[in-house]
């Protein structure tokens, strides 16, 4: 098992770019199942979760060839099986997005229960209800056995939660269905919008992109095409947080500021101001880092919300920023009942945090953090622990960094380019 050895307390600086959006790459790769023509995907992040999806698709008979730097050519001309491998689906939650296109293309999909981050119950009911609405027979035992031998048909679907992956599965299942499908209460995250635009470029017919109501008129077939994956706004948020807690001037290039409007509002409440220069976000040095109270000097609350609200995946990073800001703030994480458990590690490092319940925590700052031995429980908390270690005094050792590698490409190398003292080594090297 690999570890990160981090010496904290250094001021960083320089320019860094986000990789392609992990949460866009996985459904876009899955969507290539919907056509027998070649699809070229560019700016594909070289990370663990994407490699898992590539393995899953290759096992189904899909040809996937690296044809350039961060570029994959995908051809699903011959699909040889319709059951996903259990050992691979347990690695990545995003494997569930293969179900919709495989069902639409082949009339059958057998999908083991997906794995991914252990942050609480992550239900798939919404996915299965959407498939049933489109005419599929759904059998649930040790696996999800989906059957539509006569094809899928359009339907008016109201999702019982605004789930990103359920919305993506419903979109991909509908694009080749006969007739018109309306998906209501749809998620509208940037990667959902990107999937819709990609499918339209291949010949799909999707209206309402960016809203919570999507209208999909089924087509008989899709063609091939080329698509460049957009930047990962979660990495953009990570680098803004990094600059703030290490008092470092950092320029984030190709940051797509229009996707960061609500996150930037939250960072502003934590006393972080940025400058927008075209597609770049510049974080100046010497941030105020002071919590902005609500009217009447009331303690503010930062809550996660469906897009365009504050993303749940940025909560961990914002909490680390709050530990370095003067004032008190309540964080309310509504989606996952285990996502706040990692705060014990931050408390061990010296953060002043009151854990109210599995969903709420009060942070009182600023706190002087010190180096500790900690383990990364998931992708987002792992990145947050890196930030905490970089602003802490002394040395930190973060184990289980494979969790971080699932979502961040060569993060240690990229942070060293900014001046960070972070090294990777195996645990046996101690």
Annotated catalytic residues are 117
Residue 129, phi-psi category: left (phi > 0), alpha (psi -120 to 50), beta (remainder): alpha
Distance CA 412, CA 421 (A): 9
Distance CA 14, CA 134 (A): 50
Distance CA 199, CA 168 (A): 11
Q: Which two tokens stand for residue 212?
A: 């919570």
Pairing of strands 395-399, 373-375: parallel
Q: Which two tokens stand for residue 324?
A: 């370095």
Report which of 410, 404, 16, 2 is spatially closest to residue 242, judged by C-alpha positions.
Answer: 16
3-state SS assignment for residue 96? helix
Distance CA 137, CA 128 (A): 9
Q: Which DSSP string do the residues of 331-355 spell out, in sequence order? A: EE--S-TTGGGGHHHHHHTT-EEEE
Q: Which two tokens stand for residue 340?
A: 């706040």
Distance CA 421, CA 399 (A): 16
Distance CA 328, CA 363 (A): 6
Angle between helices 99-106 and 22-31 (to 10 degrees): 10
CA 230 to chain centre: 13
- Contact yes or no for 95/56 (Cβ under 8 A): yes
Backbone φ and ψ of 384, nearest 5°: -65, -40
Q: Which two tokens stand for residue 219?
A: 């087509």
Distance CA 399, CA 229 (A): 30
Distance CA 378, CA 401 (A): 9
DSSP 113: P
């Amino acid at each position: 098992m690999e570890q990160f050895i981090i010496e904290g307390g250094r001021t960083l600086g320089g320019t860094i770019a986000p990789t392609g959006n992990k949460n866009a790459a996985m459904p876009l790769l899955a969507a290539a199942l919907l056509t027998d023509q070649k699809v070229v995907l560019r700016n594909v992040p070289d990370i663990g979760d994407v490699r898992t999806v590539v393995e899953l698709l290759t096992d189904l008979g899909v040809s996937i060839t690296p044809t350039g730097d961060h570029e994959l050519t995908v051809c699903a001309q011959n699909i040889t099986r319709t059951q996903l491998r259990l050992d691979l689906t347990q690695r990545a939650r995003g494997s569930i997005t293969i179900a919709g296109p495989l069902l639409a293309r082949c009339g059958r999909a057998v999908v083991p229960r997906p794995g991914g981050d252990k942050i609480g119950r992550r239900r798939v009911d919404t996915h299965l209800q959407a498939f049933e609405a489109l005419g599929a027979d759904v059998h649930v035992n040790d696996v999800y056995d989906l059957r539509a031998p006569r094809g899928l048909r359009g339907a008016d679907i109201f999702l019982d939660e605004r789930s990103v992956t359920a919305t993506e599965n419903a979109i991909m299942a509908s694009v080749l269905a006969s007739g018109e499908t309306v998906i209501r209460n749809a998620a509208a995250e940037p990667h959902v919008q990107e999937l819709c635009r990609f499918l339209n470029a291949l010949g799909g017919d999707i209206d309402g992109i960016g809203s919570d109501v999507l209208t999909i008129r089924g087509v008989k077939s899709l063609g091939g095409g080329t698509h460049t994956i957009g930047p990962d706004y979660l990495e953009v948020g990570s680098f803004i947080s990094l600059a703030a807690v290490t008092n470092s001037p950092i320029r984030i290039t190709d940051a797509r500021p229009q996707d960061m409007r609500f996150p930037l509002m939250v960072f502003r409440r934590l006393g972080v101001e940025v400058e927008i220069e075209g597609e770049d976000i510049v974080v100046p040095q010497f941030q105020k880092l002071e919590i902005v109270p609500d009217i009447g000097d009331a303690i503010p609350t930062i809550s996660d919300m469906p897009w365009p609200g504050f993303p749940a995946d940025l909560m961990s990073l914002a909490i680390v920023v709050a530990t370095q800001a003067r004032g008190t703030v309540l964080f309310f994480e509504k989606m996952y009942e285990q996502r706040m458990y990692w705060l014990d590690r931050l408390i061990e490092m010296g953060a002043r945090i009151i854990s109210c319940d599995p969903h709420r925590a009060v942070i009182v700052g600023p706190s002087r953090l010190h180096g500790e031995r900690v383990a990364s429980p998931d992708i987002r908390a792992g990145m947050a622990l890196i930030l905490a270690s970089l602003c802490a005094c002394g040395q930190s050792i973060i184990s289980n960094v494979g969790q971080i590698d699932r979502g961040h490409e060569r993060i240690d190398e990229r942070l060293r380019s900014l001046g960070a003292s972070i090294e990777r080594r195996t645990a046996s090297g101690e």
